[in-house]
Chain A
Amino acid sequence: MSELQFFPANWTRKSSVVLASSVFILGVLPASAHTLEKHFKVGPQPVVTINNPDGKIVVRAWTKSEVMVVADHVADKAEVDAQQSGNRVDLMTHALSEPASPDDLKADLEISVPEDAELQIHNDAGEVNVLDVLGDMTVETIAAGVDVEDAAGYLTVKTVGGSFQCVRCAGRVEASSITGSFRFLDLRSYLVRAQTSKGDIFFTGEFLPNGDYKLKNYSGTIEVHFKPGDSFDLSATSVKGKVNNEAKLVPPDHPQHYMPKFGNALFGTFNAAGRARVELSSFDGTINILKQN
């Protein structure tokens, strides 16, 4: 009589470990994970507002005239509410009962929107990722980091401590923070305003003709990479820090009206043709103006 086999013939000790681990993981997963999926038909340039206290928000553009929301939250005390009003879709995570802890209000959202959608996002903690959206957007966070790629609209980002990264953005960019750092990569914007107190600012991209670029911090490093073909008027001032420059600048024709009397300052023109305006200022941080490799 053959032995009873509870496991397949190729069962190994490793398989047992995997099974045991799976059972353990299932055991610790919350029993009440909630998923919401909703679809909204919208017209051109819809407005999508998102208010979420904590979690990961991913917004992607697609070709449909529709907003799709997939929301996941764990706790029973919270609910993700999605409603349409005309050409606007409002998403809000809110408490169903009190008291609710910050963890109770945690929700992850994945949203697909038409590429011309306008976004208004408020997410205190977690992270915000926006991909390929060409409409205007406003993002406000406290601790959440913000990552935007291939945007073309007017972009306004305000964080308290969250970092901000903007990759291949082409519209007007305004960013402010207290301790968040900024990274602008392959930027093609004609206007950039970025100010942070205790954070680094890193910039690579094109200085477009007649573009206006103002980067400012209190402490930290401001690093700007220019290409040999760029053309800009440069003003770089650090009250108590250093200014390091690799650009061969022609001194201005006329003395600067606001030539600072304090700190380290640099003024001049690099390649006279297009003349974007680049203004870099720091209180006691270091400013690096470097050739882009």
Chain B
Amino acid sequence: MSPSPCEEFSKHLESWLEESHDPVMEAHVRSCARCNALVEDLGAIRATAFEWAYPEDEPSPSLWTSLRAQLEAEGLIHVQTTSWWDRLTSWVPSSSRPVLAGAYVAILVAVAFAISGPGESRLDRQLWLQSAENTSQPLQQDLDLAEQATVSTLPQSNSPVTASLQKNLAVVDNYIVLCEKSVRDDPQDEVAREYLFDAYQQKADLLAVMSERGDYEQ
């Protein structure tokens, strides 16, 4: 069975965002509201992520590239077999919800934070801390904004479901605090960074569930 136009488009998404536009896909995006909205959202996310990824006081991209190449050559870090884009698109929900765009951005930055930072003890600890703060602070702010927008849509209710959502949000927030502390204490701890990434991802997922439920009950 041949894939649907939307499925076909998803295969071309990465090249699309690299400005390589297939005419057939262009026609589909013009006619499909869902894919059109997805392209617009991801374009905005990408632009925002680049703004965050390369602030003016950060080392230049070429410096990072050469550092990474050297570290890889020395076997000190390992090339990710899955691209950050694959990892992102594998969990982004199919709906493009403005209220959650912030959360997607947050995770995008978290992915970048998790896989692209300096990876070994030869690098200066202060650089690590600075890098972590540069990424986690706007990330946390953006998740907070998404949380405020989402929680405000939830109906006032004492139902077990609402209670469960709120309880779990508190649990995830607590994990984020603990993981951020672990990363601050030892910025080179890859496992702590991975758990922090998981916690951010869980929070975005949970906010998506809460948002859907808020819409459902209204």
Q: What separation, in Å, do the CA atoms of A281 and B163 have in the docked complex?
A: 29
The reply to whether the CB of A249 lies closer than 8 angstroms to some CB of chain B is no
Cross-chain pair count, CB within 8 angstroms: 74
Q: Does B157 contact A (CB under 8 A)?
A: yes
Residue of B nearest to A198 (CB): B171
Q: Which of A32-90 contact B (CB under 8 A)?
A: 53-54
Residues from chain B with a CB closer than 8 A to the CB of A54 are: 159, 161
A248-260 CB contact bits vs B (8 Å, 1 = yes)?
0000000001101
Q: How far is the CA of A257 from the CA of B75 in the complex (A)?
A: 9
Q: Is the CB–CB distance between A178 and B191 below 8 Å?
A: no
In the complex the two chains form, is B78's CB within 8 Å of A257's CB? yes
A31–B158 Cα gap in the complex (Å)?
A: 25
B163-175 to A contact mask, C-beta < 8 Å, 1/0? 1110110011001
Q: Does B3 make an interface contact (CB < 8 A)?
A: no
Q: Considering the complex, which residues of chain B in the window 143-192 have a beta carbon less than 8 Å from any beta carbon of chain A?
A: 157, 159-161, 163-165, 167-168, 171-172, 175, 179, 182, 186, 189-192
Tell me whether B160 and A143 are in contact (CB under 8 A): yes
Which of B190, B198, B199, B206 contacts A160, CB < 8 Å? B206
Given known pairs A197-B199, A198-B171, the reply for A262 and B191 (CB within 8 Å) is yes
**B189 and A142 contact, CB distance less than 8 A:** no
| Nearest-Cβ distance from residue B153 to partner chain A, whole angstroms | 15
Cβ-defined contact, A178 with B202, below 8 A = yes
Q: How many of chain A's residues have a CB under 8 angstroms from any CB in B?
A: 26
Interface residues of A in 117-163 (CB under 8 A from B): 124-125, 142-143, 160-161
Contact across chains for A143 and B161 when beta carbons are under 8 A apart? yes
B165–A218 touching, CB < 8 Å:
no
Asked whether, in the complex, the Cβ of B168 is within 8 Å of the Cβ of A262, the reply is no
Q: How many chain B residues touch the partner (CB < 8 A)? A: 27
A237 to B190, CA, bound (A): 13
Q: Are A179 and B168 in contact (CB under 8 A)?
A: yes
In this assembly, does A190 line the interface, its C-beta being within 8 Å of a C-beta of chain B?
no
Contact B171 A142 (CB under 8 A): no
Say yes or no: is A283 at the interface (Cβ < 8 Å to chain B): yes
B189 touches A160 (CB 8 A): no
- B213 interfacial by beta-carbon distance below 8 Å: yes
With CB as the reference atom, state the residue of chain A lying closest to B168. Answer: A178
Report B213 CB to chain A, min CB distance, Å: 7
Q: How long is the Cα–Cα vector from A179 to B182 in the complex, in angstroms?
A: 21
Given contacts A125-B159, A161-B167, 10 further A-B contacts (CB under 8 A): A101-B157, A101-B159, A160-B206, A197-B172, A197-B199, A218-B195, A260-B191, A262-B192, A283-B179, A283-B192
* Interface residue ranges, B against A (CB under 8 Å): 78, 157, 159-161, 163-165, 167-168, 171-172, 175, 179, 182, 186, 189-192, 195, 198-199, 202, 206, 209, 213
29 of the cross-chain contacts (CB-CB < 8 Å) are A101-B157, A101-B159, A102-B157, A102-B159, A102-B160, A102-B161, A125-B159, A125-B164, A142-B164, A142-B209, A143-B160, A143-B161, A143-B164, A160-B164, A160-B206, A160-B209, A161-B168, A178-B206, A179-B167, A179-B168, A195-B198, A197-B199, A197-B202, A237-B191, A239-B195, A258-B78, A260-B190, A262-B189, A283-B191
